[in-house]
Structure formats: C-alpha cells, structure tokens
Amino acid sequence: MRYAIVTETWPPELNGVALTVEALERGLRERGHYVHLSRPRQPGDGDASGAADQRLLLRGAPLPRYPGLRFGLPAAARLRAAWRAFRPHAIYVATEGPLGWSALRAARQLGIPAASGFHTRFDHYMRDYGARWLAPVAMGWMRRFHNRADATLVPTRELQEALSRDGFQRVLRLPRAVDNALFAPERRDDALRAQWQASEAAPAVIHVGRIAAEKNLDLAVRGFRALQLSQPRARFVFVGDGPERERLARENPDFVFCGVQRGEALARHFASADLFLFPSRSETFGNVTLEALASGVPTVAFDYGAAREHLRDGVHGAAIADGDEDGFIRACARIGSDGRLRAAMAAAAPSAVAGLHPARVAGDFDRILHLLHEGRMQHARTATA
C-alpha cells in the first residue's frame, strides 16, 4: 500500500506528537508499505527534499514561545502535485496547523481518503495561558478541522467518547505503545543518581516533558515541597526544556535540571528515579506516563489520558481525581516518603504496560488506513475496539 503522512512536528523536535508520528511512520514502513512524509523543513535539512519520492520538505515558521519548534505554512498546491505523482491509497494528517488544513483540502480535491490525529488539547491550552474565554473558539476550530477528515484517531476511549459528545464525527481509537526494550527498570544508573545527590535516604522525584505553563508544574513543586517535610534530602529532577525553565530554576535553586534527553539517556533518567510526577491536565494522552511505568517508576497523575487507561490507583502509583490538587500533593508526600510502598509499586508498574507493543499499534493503524481506502468506514469504527 501507498500511504502519505503530513505533520508539522518531527524529530529531532522533542514532543509527544513528533515521537508518536515518527513511530507510526516507522511502523508502516516495517510492515512493507511505501510512506510519503510531508513536513516543514528543519535546520540541517539542506536544500533538497532528500529521498525525493518519499519526503517533501515545505516552508515553515518558528512557533512563538517554543524555540526549536516550527509550524508548516499553507502548501496545498505542492501537496496536490506530490500526491498526483504517486497517488497514496490513504493519508494521515497529524497536526491542525496551516499545513494540516492544506493537506485535508488537497486530499478532498483529489478524492483520497484522509484520517486526522487528535494530539493536542488547544482548548485546554487557552485556559493554561490565561485566555479561558477562547477555549470554545479553539474547540470549534478543532471540530471543523477534524470533521473534514474521514476519521479522527484518538488514543483513549475516554477522549473518543468526549469528542463524540462534542460533535466530532467518525472518531476512532488508536491505542499508544511504549518501547519496553528501551524503557525498563534495568536502566537504573547509580552513577547518575549520585550526580543528582540521590540515595535511599534521598529519593529522586522526576518530571519529564516540556517545561511550560500548560504542564501545571507549580503543582508538582508544591507536591515535592510537601514530600520534603518528611524527606528533607529528596531531590527533584527535571528532564526537558521550555519557556518556564528559567523561572523554575531561579525560584528553586535546589532543583536539578538535566535538559533534553533522548534514547538510552532518557531511559536511564527515567529508571533512575523513585517517583514520577505528572501534574498536567492538558494532555490528550501523556506518553511519558507509559515510559515511567515501563521503567518501574511509581507515578502520580490525574485520572485521565494514559493514567485512566493504564495506571491502577494504589498499585502503580496514584490516579488523582481531576482538579483535586490537594489529593495530588498528598499522594506525592505519601508515596515519596514510604520506601516499602514505592518498592512494591515499582515492581508492579511494568506489568501495567507490558502488552503495549509498537508492532500491534502499527498493525491497527495500517488496518484503519486500509479500510479507509476501501471505503469501509463502518468496519474501521470497530477495528481497534
């Protein structure tokens, strides 16, 4: 089969969307399919598209407040020309920016079925950046975008049901996966812990992700400070970067900031921690939750997204009712200060995600696109139930 993927973010950009789309693209190739990728040009790409029959590099612009990230500019004419040249059987549009809108327009003009991916809660971002009144506008904009596609793919049943209630049509669930060979308890690194000044008497708390307002990190700070009342030598380690890093570092000089980590280095950072805090309430899923659990790290998160799907409260960590900030803080202090409880949760955590194999997700993704090509949308609706 011939498939096309359009995305406005791609590695080495480091975010959940980029890594998820890369995994889907790789999974289709490993299944023997031809995949044409369209994305904004990145620094270091050079002048040529490279592998010209498989990759189309387009104009982009920097994303405000996020150095290193870009969004794609409109490019319907170039997409139409590329797709006329090899005619994909189905298209996946991963992002809702100007390039994504161009892709859905071009797909409709050429009569090629297209699925969209719902990866980012822009309506929640409006709340986190002080523009709550714009949340309904963002939701309407996303609904118009995704309803132009033949299917919208989401990672959880919870989100599938919520979007369907909000007027999104043809919403399908495509589960996420985690690389259990990469993220594993065996990656724990005592030398790395020593760099953090962590020990059995000084548990290491970790957060992995963008250091930005929408991640609700001030709540994680409050939870950690509550833990320090009984564990004064505890360490808080941040992996990632973002616009809030400078402020957090200035206000909390005892925190450890490790910057962006990838691959085996990221896996070592995860596995070397004793507790993972994920206070965000603006995720569609939260891939880092799966990575923490696979690494054997008890997790405190709000009960939605990946936590709702996979984290069993009291067994793998704590799944906190949405909005219960006091409950989040109490869980941080309780689990972080109880070594025996953490050890039991650490032993149980990998089993929560043991069956989430990337090959299985690639197969589900392939099946949805194939059914869209054949025009059997009704069958696609139950393909991953």
Q: In what order do the strands lie in the sheet with 55-58?
A: 55-58, 34-40, 2-6, 90-93, 114-117, 151-154, 171-173
Q: How many CB atoms lie within 10 A of CB 69?
A: 19
| pTM, 2 dp | 0.85
- Is a pLDDT exceeding 70 seen at residue 380? no
The three-class DSSP label of residue 269 is helix
CB 267, CB 182: distance < 8 Å: yes
d(CA 144, CA 76): 18
Indicate the pLDDT class of residue 384, thresholds 50, 70 and 90: very low
pLDDT tens per residue, range 327-344: 999 999 999 999 999 999
Give the pLDDT of residue 224: 98
Which residue ranges form the domains of the chain, and what is each CATH number? 2-177+357-380 (3.40.50.2000), 185-353 (3.40.50.2000)
pLDDT per residue as tens digits for the range 157-174: 999 999 999 999 999 999
Burial class (CB in 10 A: 0-12, 13-18, 19+), 84: exposed
pLDDT band at 139 (very low <50, low <70, confident <90, very high): confident
Beta strand 70-72 with 60-62 is: antiparallel
**Residue 88 pLDDT > 90, yes or no?**
yes
- Residue 93, beta-bridge partner list: 6, 116
Cβ proximity of 339 and 200 under 8 Å: yes
Summarize the confidence of residues 224-234 as an average pLDDT. Answer: 97
